[in-house]
Structure 1
Amino acid sequence: SCLCSKYGGPGLSMACNTQFKVIGPDHPVMATAGEDIVLPCHLSPRVSAENMEVRWYRSQFYSLVHLYRDGDNQNERQMPEYHGRTEFLRDDIANGSVALRIRHVRPSDEGQYRCFFRSSVFHEESLLELKVAGLGSAPLISVEGYQDGGIRMVCRSAGWYPEPEVLWRDPSGEPLTSLSETKPRGANGLFETQSSIIITETSNQSLSCHIRNALLNQEKESTVYIAEIGKLFTVTGPDRPIAASLGGEAVLSCHLSPRMSAETMEVRWFRSQYSPVVHLYCDGQDQYRQQMPEYGGRTELSKDDLTNGRVSLRIRDIRPSDDGQYTCLFQSGDSSEEALLELQVAGLGSAPGISVEGHQDRGIRVVCRSPGWYPQPEAQWRDLQGQLLPSASENISREADGLFQAEIAIVLTEESNQKVSCCVRSPRLDQERESAISIAGQCPSVPHMDGLRRCRRGQRVFIIVSPMYGPGPSRC
């Protein structure tokens, strides 16, 4: 409206010729919850607004969303819910075009906004509408137990706006009737959904939960496969053996499918017999009275993700006796299921030690020994070209600590300037340790050398033992 009509006078006739309109978007502006949005408006005709007041407000003129006046932002009276979230964009203000950026959009930001311009003699405004939408999380389907002769399934999701639609569907896509449905609004203004259904049909069917945002015309869905009605859950473990090093730690994990809380269940880890146990969780805490003595003080059950039916058993100070199969069992009431896991223990022994142990068959008997292996290793002699040499004897023995010692002998009858190596290999780790021995020539006059050089008085050989340090990838 123009002040000329109120006060009149020839001095204002030119000013009244600078009337303008404020133009905003001709359709609602769509914003995604949590993201930023820009609300634009401009003057028509295109005149400078640098010296004008530009005010953004909701229902009340003095309840400010943002105020630009006297060439600067004036937000002393800004509504508290917009503090730190607005930015006045004036790059094109010389042409009468401005915009308001609102950061981290909330559901409460939805609704009407007024973009108001005022010059010294005229003011006008435009009405804009902001719509907020939130696409929530993927639905999480869980099994909540038995009810009315079937299995009660619950579908949950959060982060939706406006209130979403929830629908269960059978394998052919037909809608199913839900047992109950709630859509509470969280403190952040977004909707959470929880819908339940009871499945009593025949086995081997899938069930899907669809949650749809009608404003965005988008949906999210999750599907669960019911393998057998009456079977509350299945237990799943790793699909391959778990490797562990001697003296180290091993983590054995298993989980329920579909996801559900195991806080009130019994979780039992055992070997070949149901009892005694490797570890037992029952009545909400660890129970050690039935634990096998050899696992005492060495196990720990991780319960961080127990509400999602996922557990991990940590075994410390791994021993050879820990090698083998483990059973992970969950029990809820009269229903129990289990999964079988395999732990493979491996230990890389010491570098082979080579010694000369006398004469045999007109040659020198050389013996290679290496302890500390698990499981049973392979031992071989090889020449310079890597070709296998026949051994005079071989003995792989198990020591009291459960580890293996390899002992392999060879008789050297060739002339000098030859070299052979002793290689001890772990097939499970595909790693080896190797030492070499060289026949270098005439025996020196000094009868005893250092630990790597050994000589027998009167023999025409000088033997140098060279460990080839490892471990490394297997070459033997």
Structure 2
Amino acid sequence: MYPCIFFGVCLIILLCLPMTTGQSNLICSSQPIIALAGNDVILSCRLDPPISASSRAVEWTKPGLDPEYIHVHQDGRLVYQSQNPLYNYRTALFVDKLINGNVSMKLFRVKTSDAGKYKCFLPSLWKEAFIQLTVAAVSLPIVSLAGIDKATSGVVLQCNSTGWYPEPEVFWLDAEGKLLSAGPTETVRGPDDLYTVSSRVTVEKRHSNSFTCRVQQKNINQTRETKIHVPEDFFMAPSSCTGWTIFSGTSNQENQEISPSEDVVLEEADPDGRFLRLISKSTTNQVLGNCKIEVNKKDMVYSFPKGFILDAGKNVTKKGLMS
């Protein structure tokens, strides 16, 4: 009799105990999750083996934040009162998947300030796990022609890219993918923690005249690049009129030139020094940038802006400035 009573009591106790969940573990991604600023991201966590979390409280927190609660799901809904204001209307659970043990959280419109460690905690199971979020920001580089290097007859290219996080590297490549030697990269970090990088390179005439500026951040496996094709006419000889001195003509003296050029010659000069006209006799464009022409040695000076090009067979009229 006593064994039967004992057995009956044990059976009642067993029926009253909750189902054991000791076999189920909370598993989150072991690798950092990488998200681009402005995009949405899923912080993946699940119960394994799967058990329903539909009726359980699910707490997502960010340790160190005050308040630390990012998303608290209880009684089938989000508890707004406990949520950190920085995450208002930016979080959600997959409610229809809770029954399968999926307690992942979706974070909308990611910001760089969202980066850090997050904790998923199920109080009823006393299970917790951590997941790391890395936030990146990238932008497409802009490449432009910055000028002409008179010493090498090369073209100077400028590359700018704004809005990177973390700090990226800048590389220049030719059409075959070979690295080009460039000056040091200039880096500026803005008040929003985003980086702006810029770089210059001087390139010489090549078979294709195509060049690429590549900006990359290896830690987040992000690369952006822009290609530019430099017209062949931009690769010119040094300035055709550097060092010219012109004596304007009078009634008994013809125009004379010191250090004349065979490619660019004086077509007309006003006797009063108000203007002069140059003409290109060359079949290729001529660089007049940084060119300074003195008339009557000191009275009038004609100068051209950096990078100015006189097209082949064309002429240019320039007004003089008193020296």
TM-score relative to the length of structure 1: 0.42
Cα distance in 2 between the residues matched to 1:145 and 1:168 = 17
- Secondary structure of 2:39's match? coil
Ranges of 4+ aligned residues in structure 1 off by more than 6 Å:
none
CA offsets, 1:143-202, max 9 Å, x none?
156587654321112343433221112344332222231233445544332111234x45
Deviation string, structure 1 residues 410-434 (Cα, Å, up to 9, x no partner): xxxxxxxxxxxxxxxxxxxxxxxxx
Q: How does 1:362-441 map onto structure 2 within 5 Å? A: none
Q: Kindly tell me: are residues 170 and 226 of structure 1, through their superposed partners in 2, closer, same or farther at Cα, counting changes over 3 Å?
A: farther
Between Structure 1 and Structure 2, which shows a larger proportion of helix residues? 2
The count of residues paired between Structure 1 and Structure 2 equals 230
Q: Tell me the residue number matched to 1:196.
A: 200
Report if aligned partners of 1:213, 1:219 keep a CA contact under 8 Å in 2: no
Structure 1 position 30, deviation (Å): 3.2
Q: Assess, with a 3 A threshold, how the Cα gap between structure 1 residues 97 and 145 changes in structure 2: closer, same or farther.
A: same
Residue aligned with 1:105, SS? coil
Structure 1 segment 210-229 matched on structure 2, within 5 A: 210-214=214-218, 215-216=220-221, 218-225=223-230, 227=232, 228-229=234-235
1:224-273: CA deviations, max 9, x gaps?
Answer: 315233589xxxxxxxxxxxxxxxxxxxxxxxxxxxxxxxxxxxxxxxxx
Q: Distance in 1 between matches of 2:237 and 2:94?
A: 61
Q: Which of 82, 86, 90 is equivalent to 2:87?
A: 82
Alpha-carbon distance in 1 for matches of 2:52, 2:307: 79
Superposed CA RMSD in Å reads 3.6
Distance 1:70 1:154, change over 3 A: same
2:86 is paired with a residue whose SS is: helix
Asked which structure has the greater RCO (Cα within 8 Å, sep 6+), the reply is: 2
2:184 is aligned, of 177, 180, 185, to 180
Q: 1:110 to 1:229 in 2, by over 3 A?
A: same
The correspondence of residues 458-473 of structure 1 with structure 2, limited to 5 A, is none
Q: Is 1:141 aligned to 2:144, yes or no?
A: yes
- Amino acid paired to 1:141: S
Take 2:95 and 2:89, find their aligned partners in 1: how far apart are those partners? 18
Q: How big is the shift at 1:118?
A: 0.8
Where do residues 245-256 of structure 1 align in structure 2 (5 Å cutoff)? none
AA paired with 1:28?
Answer: P
Partner residue, 2:162: 158
Give, in angstroms, the shift of residue 336 of structure 1: 4.1
Query: How far apart, CA to CA, are the structure 1 residues paired with 2:82 and 2:95?
Result: 21
Contact 2:141 2:213 in 1 (8 A): no
Q: 1:72 to 1:49 in 2, by over 3 A?
A: same
Q: Are residues 181 and 147 of structure 1, via their aligned partners in 2, closer, same or farther at CA, if it must alter by over 3 Å?
A: farther
Larger radius of gyration: 1
Aligned counterpart for 2:308 among listed residues 335, 345, 365: 335
Change (3 A) 1:183 1:231: farther
* 8 Å CA contact 2:140, 2:226 repeated in 1: no
State yes or no: 1:73 paired with 2:78.
Answer: yes
Cα distance in 2, alignment partners of residues 159 and 224 from structure 1 = 25
**Residues 282-321 of structure 1 aligned to structure 2 (within 5 Å):** none
Alignment of 1:6-25 (within 5 A): 14-15=17-18, 17-19=20-22, 20-25=24-29
**Aligned-pair distance for 1:102?**
0.8
Compare 105-114 and 204-213 and name the one that shifted more.
204-213
Q: Describe the SS at the equivalent of 1:332.
A: coil
Match for residue 68 of structure 2?
Answer: 63
**Structure 1 unmatched runs, 5+:** 1-9, 233-330, 340-476
Structure 2 unaligned regions, length at least 5: 1-12, 239-303, 313-323
Residue 91 of structure 1 and its aligned partner are, at CA, apart by 1.0
Amino acid corresponding to residue 229 of structure 1 in structure 2: F
- Aligned-pair identity in percent equals 27
